Amino acid sequence: MASDVLDFLDRDQLGAAAARIAKTLRPGDALALSGDLGAGKTTFVRALVRAMHGSDVPVSSPTFIFRQRYDGTPPIEHLDLYRIDDPADAAELGLEEAFGPDRITVVEWPERLPGLLPAGAIRIRIEGAGDEPRRLQIER
Ligand SMILES: Nc1ncnc2c1ncn2[C@@H]1O[C@H](COP(=O)(O)OP(=O)(O)O)[C@@H](O)[C@H]1O
Ligand SMILES: [Mg+2]
């Protein structure tokens, strides 16, 4: 496993890091995005989708629907598990269908459903809050 740290990132630099990481992703990849509320997970996903699809589709936290899909090549699935308290509640949501060899799947709050992510998922933790610079830890 390779591990990397990017530190002192302002918002634009965090977006640029997401765009660089986007270039390394292949269909079938899963990305676990950890960090506190307001750390910048959704900001990261927005930059990733823009870099991969070249468009400015609205990317927000799919908090109430848990799952959002951005059509493009490849399609990007965006899960936000923040509101899942009990893994048993999640069973009927069919979230495993958001993963597949033809798409990239990005998951905010992956620790809410530890069994959902495939073993080979790339793990990114964002640290920092408010207007402070962010630190990204990447394990792949
Ligand atoms: N360096 C930075 N990197 C990322 N976001 C930042 C940074 N500085 C300020 N922000 C702001 O912090 C907020 C992060 O919100 P969001 O991406 O929704 O977080 P999360 O999805 O982790 O809860 C945004 O309003 C963003 O503009
Ligand atoms: Mg979010």
Distance (Å) from CA 107 to ligand 2 centroid = 10
Q: Which domain holds residue 134?
A: 3-139
Distance (Å) from CA 88 to ligand 1 centroid = 30
Q: How far apart are CA 35 and CA 43, in angstroms?
A: 12
Residue 1: pLDDT over 80: no
Q: What is the pTM of this model?
A: 0.95
Which atom of ligand 1 sits closest to the CA of residue 134?
1
Which atom of ligand 1 sits closest to the CA of residue 80?
21
**Domains contained in the chain, number:** 1
Q: Could you report the per-residue pLDDT of 31-89, keeping only the tens digit for each?
A: 999 999 999 999 999 999 999 999 777 887 766 678 999 999 999 999 999 989 888 88
CATH of the domain at 130: 3.40.50.300
- Among protein residues, the one with the nearest Cα to ligand 1's atom 6 is 11
pLDDT at position 63: 61
